[in-house]
Amino acid sequence: METESLLRVEELALKKHKMFKRSWIRYIARSMLASMFIGFGVIVAFKTGNFFYVEKSPFTYPMAAVTFGAAIILIAYGGGDLFTGNTFYYTYAALRKRLKWKEVFKLWGSSYFGNILGALVFALLIHLTGLFDSSSVKGFLLSVAEHKIEAPALELFFRAILCNWLVCLAFFIPMSLQGDGAKLFAMMLFVFCFFISGYEHSIANMCTFAIALVLNHPETITFSGVIYNLIPVTLGNLVGGVLLMGVMYYFVNKPYFEEQDKSGLH
């Protein structure tokens, strides 16, 4: 049963809220860390995928998907605070009446803002390294960024719903597993599934676009194009985390927790 994991979700949400109340600046810093960790995943994925991209290999996306898993490990074990995961954690805690919705919106806004700052700082650092200056290295990254801007908004929205459903599961399912090896394998597998499927993750997109914009990029990659992508993707991520994770798990487990609450066990 997932009930023990849901109790951990509650505890994690309350712990994050406590950090937020103690220091908004530190909470923002933790959110910045999360998007920087994703930035590392973006860099290694596109750097690896580019070797296959220039050869027009069918292994381009699979190899990028495998290496992108580094991002979720860094977040899970490095202590970052990610907006997309928070859509699930804080929703569930609010439905359980452990958090007020007013607090939830503040937490969401703060983590999203921190994630944006982190993506911008990481992009600047990558620009200063000069590692992506060569057209032979940045081709795959720029190609993906272009396709994300060109996709229809409605398609982006539904891709984002499925994405965050899967990403939240990548954090949630391992909570019930024993041993770091099993947890790491499950996380990597779920992230591989989301990446290879072509779903849309708002924070990963932030990092990808931020890096693309600081590089010498084609005119098709614009700031307005980035906003065009991020609005439906962010809304879709919210729907995936709030409805398909927070609301769904609250609904299916409500009778169990009501019994436990009445008996005083929780």
At 263 the pLDDT is 67
Rounded to an integer, the average pLDDT of 55-66 is 94
CA pair distance 133, 109, nearest whole angstrom: 33
- Express the helix, strand and coil content of the chain in percent, nearest 5 each: 85, 0, 15
Domain 3-260 of CATH type 3.90.1720.10: no
Q: Where do the domains of the chain lie? A: 3-260
Tokens standing for residue 171 = 């954090």
Which pLDDT band holds residue 259 (cuts at 50, 70, 90)?
A: confident
The H-assigned helical ranges of 54-152 are 60-68, 70-78, 83-95, 101-129, 135-150
Rounded to an integer, the average pLDDT of 84-106 is 97
Checking if the pLDDT of 99 tops 70, the result is yes
Highest mean pLDDT among 106-110, 178-182, 262-266: 106-110
How many angstroms separate the first and last alpha carbons of the chain? 16
Which pLDDT band holds residue 266 (cuts at 50, 70, 90)?
A: low
Q: Counting beta carbons within 10 angstroms of the beta carbon of residue 245, is it exposed (0 to 12), middle (13 to 18) or buried (19 or more)? A: buried
Checking if the pLDDT of 265 tops 60, the result is no
At 1 the pLDDT is 65
Rounded to an integer, the average pLDDT of 47-60 is 94
Rg (CA), the chain: 19
Q: Helix axis angle, 180-197 relative to 153-172, nearest 10°?
A: 170
- Higher pLDDT, residue 20 or 131: 20
Q: Are 36 and 81 in contact (CB under 8 A)?
A: no
Residue owning tokens 């499925």: 162
| CA angle in degrees (0–180, nearest 5) for 58-38-2 | 95
Return contacts of 217-223, CB within 8 angstroms, 24+ apart: 217/142, 217/145, 218/142, 218/146, 220/146, 220/149, 220/150, 221/142, 221/145, 221/146, 221/149, 222/149
Residue-wise pLDDT tens digits, 126-136: 999 998 888 88
At 264 the pLDDT is 61
At 135 the pLDDT is 82
pTM of the model: 0.93
